[in-house]
Amino acid sequence: MITTQNLVRRYGDFTAVNNVSFTAEPGRVTGFLGPNGAGKSTTMRVLTGLTPATSGSATVLGKPFKELVNPGRHVGVLLDASAQHNGRTGREVLMISAKTMGLPAKRVDHMMDVVGLTQKEGKRRLGNYSLGMRQRLGLANALMGDPRVLILDEPANGLDPAGIRWMRSLLGSYADQGGTVLLSSHLLNEIERIADDILVIGNGEIVARGTKEELLRPNGTVVKTPNSDVLTEALTSAGLAFTVTGDGGLHVEAEPTDVGVLAANNRVVLSELRPGDNQGLEEMFLNLTASNARTEAAA
Ligand code: ADP
């Protein structure tokens, strides 16, 4: 379990993270989605004790990260896959982690298998690794101590679609065994593919949260009829909100079945009845990205 409560992190008079409260639950992959500069890394750095909070709290497994003894055995962290020294081999990086945590060399070989790095690749220096290979190595490192919590900043960056599918399956089975995963991305389609729960952050604030199904649920109902006067009257008396769409249809804030039943009860003929387009999250995200781009351009 990961919890933040009213978390604030300021740099001078700039507020990078503003009053952020959330919980990432065991057994779930929680996606932390926001455009570049939204405050994802800062939140994760506070969660992992690398940056102090200005105010509020951040705990992992009920404690501030710094109070965890041998933290790698409890929390796997991947914050910046490029941060390792280019002259080291992949296997050396993993051996150092294993030694720090008091684990045997065979754990390193096992983790390389889990993330699909061959022994030959393990002997190559990181300077020759692709970003995707670095992400796999970073994940092996994070999983090394068999932790109950994973905190991963942009782990899918640099992975191709097959790599993203692989990560979904790895993290999905980790969560199925009771693990907690908090994973960030600036790409909606990555989060859609990998996460069960979604937190959306923009300009340092949480702007939406929910399960993937809730946030991506089709948005209302689109209906078309030659008897639009009768239908709009029936919708109004039933207390269902609607708007008239550009092409002469209606967009109703209700489930298609409810609209269909209402139409049938009022003997209204329908020429079209379907779930509304699922643009809620995508539109919100595009707006956030655009507002962030403006903020960056102005800076
Ligand atoms: P994200 O991970 O969502 O891309 P960050 O958490 O890295 O966003 O950054 C959030 C904001 O905080 C950005 O505007 C960034 O420039 C600013 N920021 C991050 N770290 C520092 C720092 N050490 N000093 C000043 N500003 C910072």
**Tens digits of residue pLDDT in 124-158:** 999 999 888 999 999 999 999 999 999 999 999 88
Q: Is 31 helix (H, G, I), strand (E, B) or coil?
A: strand
Using the atom order of ligand 1, give the atom closest to the CA of residue 41.
Answer: 2
Domain 2-215 has CATH 3.40.50.300: yes
Choose between 279 and 114: higher pLDDT.
114
293: pLDDT strictly greater than 60: no
Instruction: Give the model's pLDDT for residue 213.
Output: 84
Using the atom order of ligand 1, give the atom closest to the CA of residue 43.
Answer: 6
Is 38's C-beta closer than 6 angstroms to any atom of ligand 1? yes
Number of Cβ atoms within 10 Å of the Cβ of 267: 9
Beta bridge partners of 76: 150
299: pLDDT strictly greater than 60: no
| Candidate from 9, 10, 11 with most ligand 1 atoms within 8 A of CB, to mutate | 11
Classify burial at 83, counting beta carbons within 10 Å of its beta carbon; exposed 0-12, middle 13-18, buried 19 or more.
exposed
Instruction: Give the model's pLDDT for residue 85.
Output: 80
Is 51's C-beta closer than 6 angstroms to any atom of ligand 1? no
Q: What is the mean pLDDT of residues 261-266?
A: 96
Classify burial at 32, counting beta carbons within 10 Å of its beta carbon; exposed 0-12, middle 13-18, buried 19 or more.
buried
Sequence ranges of the chain with CATH classification 3.30.70: 221-275
Instruction: Give the model's pLDDT for residue 235.
Output: 96
Instruction: Give the model's pLDDT for residue 216.
Output: 80
Q: How confident is the model at residue 295 (pLDDT cuts 50, 70, 90)?
A: low
Is 11's C-beta closer than 6 angstroms to any atom of ligand 1? yes
Q: Residue 115: CB partners within 8 Å, gap ≥ 6? A: 136, 137, 139, 140, 143, 170
Q: How confident is the model at residue 117 (pLDDT cuts 50, 70, 90)?
A: very high
Using the atom order of ligand 1, give the atom closest to the CA of residue 14.
Answer: 26
Amino acid (1-letter code) at residue 3: T
Q: Residue 24: CB partners within 8 Å, gap ≥ 6? A: 1, 2, 3, 30, 180, 181, 182, 197
Instruction: Give the model's pLDDT for residue 158.
Output: 82
Classify burial at 213, counting beta carbons within 10 Å of its beta carbon; exposed 0-12, middle 13-18, buried 19 or more.
exposed
- Phi-psi category of residue 213: left, alpha or beta, with phi > 0 → left and psi -120 to 50 → alpha: alpha
- Give the chain's mean pLDDT: 91
What's the gap in Å between 297 CA and the centre of ligand 1?
Answer: 15
Report the alpha-carbon distance of residue 141 to residue 78 in Å, rounded.
8
Find, among 76, 111, 101, 81, the residue nearest to 182 by Cα: 76
Is 159's C-beta closer than 6 angstroms to any atom of ligand 1? no
Sequence ranges of the chain with CATH classification 3.40.50.300: 2-215
For 49-71, the pLDDT digits (tens) are 999 999 999 999 999 999 998 88
For 87-101, the pLDDT digits (tens) are 899 999 999 999 998
What's the gap in Å between 36 CA and the centre of ligand 1?
Answer: 9
81: pLDDT strictly greater than 70: no
Task: Judge contact between 183 and 195, C-beta under 8 A.
Answer: yes
Q: How confident is the model at residue 282 (pLDDT cuts 50, 70, 90)?
A: confident
Task: Please name the residue that has the structure tokens 């081999």.
Answer: 89
Task: Judge contact between 292 and 37, C-beta under 8 A.
Answer: yes
For 175-232, the pLDDT digits (tens) are 999 999 999 999 998 999 999 999 999 999 999 899 988 888 778 899 999 989 999 9
Using the atom order of ligand 1, give the atom closest to the CA of residue 35.
Answer: 3
For 14-47, the pLDDT digits (tens) are 999 999 999 999 999 999 999 999 999 999 999 9
Instruction: Give the model's pLDDT for residue 62.
Output: 94
| Candidate from 8, 10, 42, 47 with most ligand 1 atoms within 8 A of CB, to mutate | 42
Instruction: Give the model's pLDDT for residue 131.
Output: 87
Q: Any idea which of 1-10, 82-91, 199-208, 256-265 has the lowest mean pLDDT? A: 82-91
Q: What is the mean pLDDT of residues 227-248?
A: 91
- Atom 12 of ligand 1: nearest residue by CA position: 16
Residue-by-residue DSSP string for 163-194: HHHHHHHHHHHHHHTT-EEEEEES-HHHHHHH
Choose which CATH entry (3.30.70, 3.30.420, 1.20.1440, 3.10.560) describes domain 221-275: 3.30.70
Find, among 126, 142, 129, the residue nearest to 179 by Cα: 142
Report the alpha-carbon distance of residue 62 to residue 45 in Å, rounded.
17
Q: How confident is the model at residue 279 (pLDDT cuts 50, 70, 90)?
A: low
Measured in degrees and rounded to the nearest 5, phi and psi for residue 236 equal -65, -45
Number of Cβ atoms within 10 Å of the Cβ of 236: 11
